[in-house]
Amino acid sequence: MNVTHWEMDTLSSPPDFTSAAGDLANHFLTTYSAVLSTLDHWDDVTVTAEQYTGAPIGQGIHLVGVDGARSITSPVFAPQLCCLISRRTGTPRRWGRGRLFCPPAYDSSAAYGGGTWNPNQAYMISCGTLASTLQTGFSAGSTSYIPIIWSRSRALTNQTPYFAVVTQCTANTAQHWLRSRGTAP
pLDDT tens-digit series, residues 103-120: 999 999 999 888 999 999
pLDDT of residue 76: 93
pLDDT tier, 146 (very low <50, low <70, confident <90, very high otherwise): very high
Q: Is the pLDDT of residue 13 over 90?
A: no
Average pLDDT over residues 125-154: 94
Q: Please, which residues have CB within 8 angstroms of residue 47's CB and are 6 or more apart in sequence? A: 17, 18, 20, 21, 24, 59, 60, 61, 62
Domain containing 46 equals 5-181
Please, which pLDDT band fits residue 184 given cuts at 50, 70 and 90?
low
Pairing of strands 143-150, 138-140: antiparallel
Write down the pLDDT at residue 7.
92
Residue range 71-77: mean pLDDT, rounded: 92
Q: State yes or no: pLDDT of 185 exceeds 90.
A: no
Cα–Cα dist 160/145, whole Å: 21
Average pLDDT of the chain, as a whole number: 92
- Name the percent of the chain lying above pLDDT 70: 98
Chain-centre distance for alpha carbon 74: 26
**Using CB atoms within 10 A of its CB, is residue 114 exposed (0-12), middle (13-18) or buried (19+)?**
exposed
Q: How many domains does the chain have?
A: 1
The arithmetic mean of pLDDT across residues 153-162, rounded, is 88
Dist. CA 112–CA 162, nearest whole Å? 39
pLDDT band at 5 (very low <50, low <70, confident <90, very high): very high
The DSSP result for 41-91, as a single string, is EEEEEEEEPPP-TTPPP-EEEEEEEEE--B--S-B-S-TTEEEEEEEEES-
Buried b (16+ CB within 10 A) or exposed e, 38-70: ebbebeebebebeeeeeeeeeebbbebeeebbb
